[in-house]
Each structure stands twice: as structure tokens, then as C-alpha cells.
Amino acid sequence: MNQESVASMSLKVIGVILIISSLVDYVLLAIPFQPGSREWQIAYAAQIVERGIIPLVGIAFLVTGFWMDRSEGGGVANRNPFQDLRFWAFVLSTILGVVFLVVFPLHLNNVRLQRADALQQIREQASQTEGQVLSQLANENVENEITQRRTAIGEQIRQLISNPDQLNEALQSPDVPQQEKDLLEQFQQNPQALDQFLNQQFSSDNLRTQQLTQIRSRQQELESQTKTRLTKLAVQTGISSLLLSVAYSIIGWTGLKSMGSAGGGRRKSMGR
């Protein structure tokens, strides 16, 4: 066996192994089989598309191996097409082309529905959290806690601004934010501004606004992350699936057509 024969045999063996291993992998990825679950459909589509190039490479190796045999004059002119590995490789390529073509719109629709459900869930959770916050702020015990906290913080600030040494130390400390330094100077010059500040900061309305703002900001952040993640999933898997469908279909139909033409040519030659 010469080197060309060894090379062609190696290509065919590698091609068959890649094709079979990928098909087995597709079957194992489907376990547990849950076709009625949208999450399962999305995950399975993403996995098979991610591995979709492997059978394509295997088919290319297999066909190249047979082409090398033919170029050496060792063709298979009298072989029945059903006994030719190329025929089944082209049939598989055509089938996979159809499969990936179906996956394309199905995956996009599943991701669209998944996105709508995820956004709705985020909104419901945010609405539920807002209701809990409003209910807590309406509680008398919470109101009393707010009053106690406001009084305690007010006493601490009054003690600080009444002690020049501690006040200067705070104003010169790099650990104290500039905004707080400005407030301390303002309170020192106008003690009434302290009461106005405390009433504003520790009022039920202000706390309600702060809590609701935080909840809605978190809601917008989660919605943005969800939209970005699912959009990337839809585009990446969808486009890859469409490209794989085109590649498999071209190889499958072109290969079957060429084998049919070759078979017709052989029959015509034999008839002569």
C-alpha cells in the first residue's frame, strides 16, 4: 500500500469516526429527553449547533479520501450507490441541512418566548418587592424606628459641631467625603439646617422614594442583562444554525447530484 492509499484510508477512517462520534454525542445530549420543555429545546439547540461543525468536517474528510482513491485510478465505478459510504454521507448531510434549517426559526421563537417570560418574572418580583416595602413603611414600629434613628443621628451631629476640635479633625480627615464636610460646615453655621436635613432624610416619604428607586434601578439592570444575554444566544445560535444548514444542504445535494450523474454516465457507457 503506497502513501497515497494510506492517506486516503486515514482520511476516510477519521471522517467516519467524526461522523459517528458526533451523532452519538447528539443522542446523549438529548438525555433526559424533554421535548415539551422550552428550556430543554433552547439548551439542546445551542449544544448541537455548537458541535455542528464536527460532522461537516467528518464528511469533508470522507469525501476527500474517496476523491484521492479516484484520482489514483482506484475508483468505485461499479459499486451500488447504497453500498457507497459517500452516498450515505451525502444523505446525512442533506438531513442535517434540513435539521439545522428547522432549528433556526424554532430556536429564535423559543428565545423570544423565554425572554418575554423572564422579563415578566422580573417585573412581578419587582412589583412584589415594592409592595413589601410599602407595607413595611406603613408599619408603626418602622415609623418609630425611623424616629429613633433620626434622633440618635441628630444628637451625634450636634455633639460633633459643638466640639471644635472634633469638628476640625473631621473636616481635615481624608476619610470623610467632601459632601459630608460641606454639610457639617453648613450645620455649624446654621443649626436649624440640621433639623431640616434630618426631617428630609428620615421621613417616610423620602425612605419610600429611596427604596422604590433602588428596586426600579435593580429591575432595569436585570431586564437589560436578560435582554443582552438572550439576544446574544438567539443571534449566535440562530446565525450559526442557518450557516450550517446552508453548508450541509449544498454538500448533500451537490454530492447526491454528482453521484447520480456519474451513475447515469456509467449506465450509458455500459449500454453502448
Q: What is the pLDDT along the chain (272 residues), one digit of tens a residue?
A: 566 778 889 999 999 999 999 999 999 999 999 989 999 999 999 999 999 999 999 999 999 988 887 766 555 555 566 778 889 999 999 999 999 999 999 999 999 999 999 999 999 999 999 888 877 766 666 667 777 777 788 788 888 878 888 778 877 888 878 888 888 788 778 777 777 777 777 666 777 788 888 999 999 999 999 999 999 999 999 999 999 999 999 999 999 888 776 555 454 444 44
Location of C-alpha cell 486515514? 10
Does residue 224 sit within a domain?
A: no
- Output phi, psi for 203, to 5 deg: -95, 155
Residue 262 has a pLDDT of: 54
Indicate the helix (H) or strand (E) that contains 139: none
Location of C-alpha cell 455649624? 188
Q: How many domains does the chain have?
A: 2
Give this prediction's pTM.
0.71
Does residue 179 sit within a domain?
A: yes
Do 9 and 84 lie in one domain? The reply is yes
Do 161 and 73 lie in one domain? The reply is no
Residue 245 has a pLDDT of: 96
Do 151 and 17 lie in one domain? The reply is no
Do 148 and 33 lie in one domain? The reply is no
CB-based burial label for 100 (10 Å; 0-12, 13-18, 19+)? buried
| Radius of gyration of the chain from its Cα atoms, rounded to whole angstroms | 36
In this structure, the chain runs to a length of 272
Do 31 and 68 lie in one domain? The reply is yes
Does residue 222 sit within a domain?
A: no
Residue 150 has a pLDDT of: 75
Do 129 and 153 lie in one domain? The reply is no
Do 22 and 91 lie in one domain? The reply is yes
Q: String of b and e for 187-219 (b: at least 16 CB within 10 Å)?
A: bbeeeeebeebbeeebeeeebbeebbeebeeeb
Residue 156 has a pLDDT of: 83
Does residue 229 sit within a domain?
A: no
Do 104 and 91 lie in one domain? The reply is yes
Do 131 and 154 lie in one domain? The reply is no
Domain range spanning residue 83?
A: 3-135+236-271
